[in-house]
């Protein structure tokens, strides 16, 4: 058996998320169905992150084992010929034995997009959160910087989460803006860290928008982190604007032969 690592991109709009579910469409199930045609039997896929319903991925990573002698490039082509148009395998490579896309991941980058414009473009409606009112981006930037470092993110994850600890380390947390054709601006939040909790990024964004609205101050983020209560934070932002950008692995780890 050979272990493979693939990088996937998908439009999450019509998926229930990455992870397979018995009564809904998932990215994992689509990939496993395509792999079963290649392998001739069921193949179990492990994803680096369990993106939720409606969440997109630019660089999701998955791993699996095959007995088929197919080469990596031919595997990529074969899978893309069998997968639906809203999922694509960007790259495929043979990985070292024992590689697991989830358990060997060392950091991830997420991106969240807000269309801050009076009228939402029909081409953004599935890929950004539309907020027509003015937001104080400077305050949102100051607040975002408070999340860099090691913190207890207990105020920013879903109630009932099975995570053993809510302590995580963030290495990046900032906003950028760019003008949109026809007026308004696209606000993009990027956050990178060693791990994330369920709904964590979307809850952080919902809270930062409250800062942009003037309902919270940038300085209040320290107290919010210290509260460790979900009720203390803001609303969960819609999944539409969230993207898993990249998953990183240790260069010295069991990642690839090449």
Q: Could you give the percent of the chain with pLDDT greater than 70?
A: 97
Question: Residue 251: its pLDDT value, please?
Answer: 65
- Average pLDDT for residues 128-149, to the nearest whole number? 98
As a whole number, mean pLDDT of residues 173-202 equals 96
The per-residue pLDDT for 110 is 98
Top CATH class of 2-103 equals: alpha beta
Per residue in 215-258, pLDDT (tens digit) is 999 999 999 999 999 999 999 999 999 999 999 998 644 443 33
Q: In whole angstroms, what is the distance from residue 111 CA to residue 201 CA?
A: 9
* pLDDT in the model for residue 64: 98
How many angstroms separate the CA atoms of 189 and 192, rounded? 10
Give 109's strand partners.
192, 246
Q: 248 an active-site residue?
A: no
Give every CB contact of residue 198 below 8 A, 6+ residues apart in sequence. 52, 157, 158, 161, 163
Exposure on the CB side of residue 183, measured as CA atoms within 13 A: 7
Helices 27-39 and 72-82 sit at what angle, rounded to 10 degrees?
120
DSSP letter, residue 48: S
* Spatial separation of the C-alpha atoms in residues 106 and 117, rounded to whole Å: 36
CATH of domain 106-246: 3.30.70.660
CATH 3.30.70.660 domain position(s) in the chain: 106-246
Q: How high is the pLDDT of residue 118?
A: 96
Catalytic residue chosen out of the listed positions 52, 136, 152, 219: 52
Mean of the per-residue pLDDT values for the chain? 95
Q: How confident is the model at residue 126 (pLDDT cuts 50, 70, 90)?
A: very high
Instruction: Name the pLDDT band for 211 (thresholds 50, 70, 90).
Output: very high
> pTM for the whole thing?
0.94
Task: State residue 96's pLDDT score.
Answer: 95
| Cβ-contact 17, 52 below 8 angstroms | yes
Average pLDDT over residues 38-48: 97
Kindly report, as residue ranges, where domains of CATH 3.30.70.580 are found in the chain.
2-103
**155 pLDDT exceeds 80?**
yes
Residue 163: what pLDDT? 80
Q: Tell me how crowded residue 9 is: count the other CB atoms within 10 A of its CB.
A: 16
Task: Show the beta-strand stretches assigned E in 117-161.
Answer: 129-130, 149-152
Q: What is the pLDDT of residues 97-122, one digit of tens each?
A: 999 999 999 999 999 999 999 999 99
Three-class SS state of 210? helix
């Amino acid at each position: 058996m050979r272990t493979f690592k693939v990088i996937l991109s998908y439009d999450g709009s019509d998926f229930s998320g990455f992870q397979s579910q018995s009564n809904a469409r998932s990215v994992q199930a689509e990939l496993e169905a395509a792999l079963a045609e290649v392998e001739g039997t069921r193949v179990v896929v492990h994803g680096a992150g369990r993106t939720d319903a409606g969440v997109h991925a630019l660089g999701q990573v998955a791993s699996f084992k095959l007995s088929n002698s197919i080469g990596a490039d031919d595997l990529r082509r074969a899978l893309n010929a069998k997968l639906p148009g809203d999922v694509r395998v960007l790259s495929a490579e043979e990985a070292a034995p024992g590689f697991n896309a989830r358990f060997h991941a060392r950091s991830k980058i997420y991106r969240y997009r807000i269309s801050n414009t009076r009228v939402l473009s029909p081409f953004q409606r599935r890929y950004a959160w539309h907020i027509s009112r003015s937001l104080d981006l400077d305050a949102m930037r100051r607040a975002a910087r408070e999340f860099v470092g090691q913190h207890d993110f207990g105020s920013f994850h879903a109630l009932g989460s099975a995570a053993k600890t809510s302590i995580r380390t963030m290495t990046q947390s900032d906003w950028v803006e760019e003008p949109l054709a026809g007026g308004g601006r696209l606000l993009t939040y990027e956050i990178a860290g060693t791990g994330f909790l369920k709904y964590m990024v979307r809850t952080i964004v919902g809270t930062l928008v409250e800062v942009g609205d003037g309902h919270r101050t940038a300085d209040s983020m320290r107290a919010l982190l210290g509260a460790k209560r979900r009720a203390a934070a803001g609303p969960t932002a819609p999944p539409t604007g969230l993207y898993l950008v990249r998953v990183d692995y240790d260069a010295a780890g069991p990642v690839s032969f090449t």
